[in-house]
Structure formats: C-alpha cells, structure tokens
Amino acid sequence: MRQHPVNPTHIRDRTPSLAHRLASGLVKIGLALNHHDRKTAGSNGLGLTQTRILEFLRQCPKRSARLSAIARGLSITPATACESVRTLTQKGLVRKVRSETDERVVIITLSTEGQRKADHAAGQDGFLIAAAESLTPAEQEALLKTLIKMTVAIQERRHAPASMVQRVNGGMRSSSPLTQDLR
C-alpha cells in the first residue's frame, strides 16, 4: 500500500492550541483524582458520596453540619445527602443530633469511627503532594499563581456551582472559597 507524503502544514493545523492542551492536562488530573477518590472510598467500605460527606464534616467546625449544608457543600441533592447520611448513621460513622437552640434542626456529627475514616480518606491525598514536590520550587510557585488565576476566572464566569467552587482547601475540600488556601 502506497503512503502519501505528510503535509507538515496540515499536521500543524490539527495540533491543539496550548490552552487546549493545558485544559486536557487538567481534565486528566481531574480523572486521576476521581479515580483515586473512588478507590479510596472503596477501601473504606464506603461509597464515594459517603466518603466525601465524612471529609466534608471533618473540615466543619465541631465536625458537624446540617444536612442542607452538606448537600450544598458537596453539590448534591438533599435526597442524595439524606440517603448517604442514613447509611453512614447505620454504619455508626455519623450521629444525628437535635440542635440545642432549635429542636427542629438536625445536626449531623462525626462519630469517633467516622472521624478515623475521614482522617484516613484525607490522608490519601499524599500522591498529589508528591507530584507537586516533583516540581522545582520555581515551578511550584508558577503553578500556584496559574491555579489562582484559573480559579478566579472559573468563579467569575460562574462555570461551577458556587458550593462546588468553595470546596477545595488544604486537605482537599472545605467550605472556604477555592482561592483562599491557594494564596
């Protein structure tokens, strides 16, 4: 079979722009994070949403939050949050406690075992730290500045639910604005 000569201009035209290649790289990192989160959740004997709830509560003051705050904080429906909390309660990982100030309000609190599982899940982010440490200090600084700029652009363009954009912090997720821990 005869091969046709390659036209270098034609190849260049199909090469994605640098911005597209960067976006592709970020998507791949996102996929790796999702894969890792699912694997970590499974090793804890929990589903991904259940693990994320434990991690969310771990970041909250007093290790507790209302169901509605959990749903907003994780960008999940109240029904999904309710079902996951029900399962976590059955497994003894969280407790439902009535508010001392308003008995209509139910507060979800981590149990001792739930705290242990949340700590384990949070400790699984070491692979990201190791990847960041493979960069020189100058590369780390440049990447940090770039992440801040990209995050601000995402927030300004409202390309993610506000609650989702407010999840990331030192460990991985929290209720503080996305760029707070980056600065």
Domains of the chain: 20-165 (1.10.10.10)
**pTM flag (> 0.75):** no
List residues bridging with 107 in a β-sheet.
66, 97
H or E element, residue 98: strand 94-98
pLDDT digits (tens, 9 = 90+) for 14-48: 778 899 999 999 999 889 888 888 887 777 788 98
* 145-182 pLDDT tens trace: 998 888 888 888 877 655 444 444 333 333 334 444 55
Q: What Rg, from alpha-carbon coordinates, does the chain have? A: 21
φ and ψ at residue 64, rounded to 5 degrees? -150, 160
